[in-house]
Every structure is written in structure tokens, then in C-alpha cells.
Structure 1
Amino acid sequence: MRDRFSSGMTLAWWHRVLLALWSLFLIAGFAFAFSLVPDQRGFGTHQQLGLPPCSFRTMFGIFCPTCGGTTCFSHFVRGQWWLAVKANPAVFLLALFCAAMIPWSWISIVKKRAVGFDDPATFVAWGLVVFCTLALLQWGWRLALT
């Protein structure tokens, strides 16, 4: 029987170092999101960092495609997944993907292979296309509901 972790591009030592750093960066990002209190409105959590309100919302009076993103991550790390989805569905999927990247990175480091991916660059490119498409679709949905 074939080991399900045996496929994937072989990783050089520096690929493994980058994956380790990437996973630590993701962990730090989740920890940082946990330090923020989710805004009750479903957007605006980023203002706790001293950032201004969303310029798009201020100028045009409508949500931008990423409105609610920081709030979404802040809910996500608390296990408040429904509130995270309500804040921004596309960013919720991004948070799920980032959470899955952490164990995948360490499994790949141990196996010395990009587990499950013969061409990680193509996967990342398609992932970006899918994420941007979902962000625009959920934005259109939000605009239609307001």
C-alpha cells in the first residue's frame, strides 16, 4: 500500500527552513489575532492597531472586499466560526487554509517533500485566483444585500 505522504516535490534544505519560518509566521499571526478583541459590528477590529477606518467605506459608504478581515481572524482564533464567517466569508476560508498550512508545513519538513504537491507554485497561483474570486463574489453579495 502506498504511503499517502510519499508524493510531492522533494524539498531542499532551504525550502524546509522557509516552511518552518512560514509556519512560525502563521502561528504568530494567529496569536496576534487572539490579542485583538473582535469588533461587535463585524468590521473595524484593525482600528485597535491605530489604523484608520476603511478608506473605501469612508469615501464610498460601502464595504470593501476585505472589510471584516481582521475581525474574522479574531473570531476564528476564538473558535467563533459563525461570527468569523459573518465578518468575511472569503477571509474565513483563508484562515482555514492558513490553519491547515501549519501542520502541512511540519509534515512536509519531516518527509522532506511538499506532501501532496508536485508543483507547489501552481497550487499557490490557483489558490490566489480562487481566493480573489471568492473575495469578489462575497463582496458582490454584500453589496446586493445593502
Structure 2
Amino acid sequence: MSPSFETNAKLSPRQRLALVLVAVVIVLLLITAARLEPDASGYGTHKQLGLSDCFVLRQWGERCPSCGMTTAWSRLLRGDLRGAVAANAGGVLLAVGAIAAVPWLLASAARGEWCYLRPSASVVLPAVAVLALVVLLDWMRHTGLTLLLDHTT
């Protein structure tokens, strides 16, 4: 099945409102990330929001796959692509996707139909698979797979 590039799928008023609300939430997340000071360690920026330390980091002393995502967003939105990728490459992909999604969602809501690309399983699933692979490879880069190895030997 090929990606759906149809734009003629009419959106109901409720769907259009949902698209606007999702775009607003994304913008608020982007603004929040831009206002945070990236943690020098490459992760932990989220603690400025009153959130706790990462459970995996606290429990096993190793980063989890999402460690560094907030830092990546904050660095990317400050124009520091290298620092963002160093913090979490998957976070960079998510941030870029979020930035691209806002005008697409708002334009689709305004037109009352999907602009250019209608979300479908044949579009969303490969994108999620690529993101998951990047997050996994990035996590392996940061941890050296130490969480998967026996620490007792």
C-alpha cells in the first residue's frame, strides 16, 4: 500500500478544532523547550520543569532511551544542531517533526481538508519505525549497551 497523498478527505468541525488544539500544544512545547537552559551534561534539562530524575538513570546509573530529549529540543531551538544531536538524535527528529507539523496542522484545519499528505498507517508506521530505530541506536551510542550486559561479571 502506498502513502496516501490525497487531499480531498474533508475534515469535520470537531476534527479541525482538534488539529488546531494539537498545533497549539506543540507550539507550547516548543516555546517551553526554547526557554529552558540546556543542561551541560546532555540530559536533565527537564528537571527545570520540576520533574524528577530519570528512574533508569537513578536506578542503574545509565541513560534511558529518552534521556536527553528535552535537552535536544532546547539546543535545537537555540540553533545548536550539533549539541542537540549529541544530547539525543531521536529528540532532534521529534523536534523537527513537531516544527513541521504546526503549519501543516493549521493549514489543514483552515482548509478543512488535509494539505498534501493525509495521515494513514502507511505513512505513520514507517515514520514511527525510523524514529524508534534512531532512538535505539542513539541509546546504544550513549550507553554502549551496558544495560543489556551483566554487570556482575
TM, length-normalised to structure 1: 0.85
- Structure 1 unaligned regions, length at least 5: none
Quote the residue 2:70 is aligned against: 70
Quick check: which one's strand share is greater?
1
Quote the residue 1:107 is aligned against: 107
Flag the 1:121–1:6 CA change in 2: closer, same or farther, 3 A.
closer
**3-state DSSP of counterpart to 1:115:** coil
Q: Which amino acid aligns with 2:108?
A: S
1:134 aligns with 2:134: yes
Quote the residue 1:46 is aligned against: 46
Flag the 1:8–1:136 CA change in 2: closer, same or farther, 3 A.
farther
Q: Which amino acid aligns with 1:32?
A: T
- Counterpart-to-counterpart distance in 2, 1:87 and 1:81: 10
CA apart distance, 1:115: 1.8
**3-state DSSP of counterpart to 1:38:** coil
CA apart distance, 1:98: 0.3
- Counterpart-to-counterpart distance in 1, 2:37 and 2:128: 28
CA apart distance, 1:101: 0.3
Kindly tell me the number of residue pairs found equivalent between the two proteins: 141
CA apart distance, 1:17: 0.7
- Structure 2 unaligned regions, length at least 5: 147-153
- Counterpart-to-counterpart distance in 2, 1:108 and 1:70: 28
CA apart distance, 1:69: 0.8
Identity %: 33
1:83 aligns with 2:71: no
CA apart distance, 1:82: 1.6
**3-state DSSP of counterpart to 2:65:** coil
CA apart distance, 1:6: 7.1
**3-state DSSP of counterpart to 2:144:** helix
Alignment RMSD (CA, Å): 2.1
Segment drifting more, 77-86 vs 22-31: 77-86
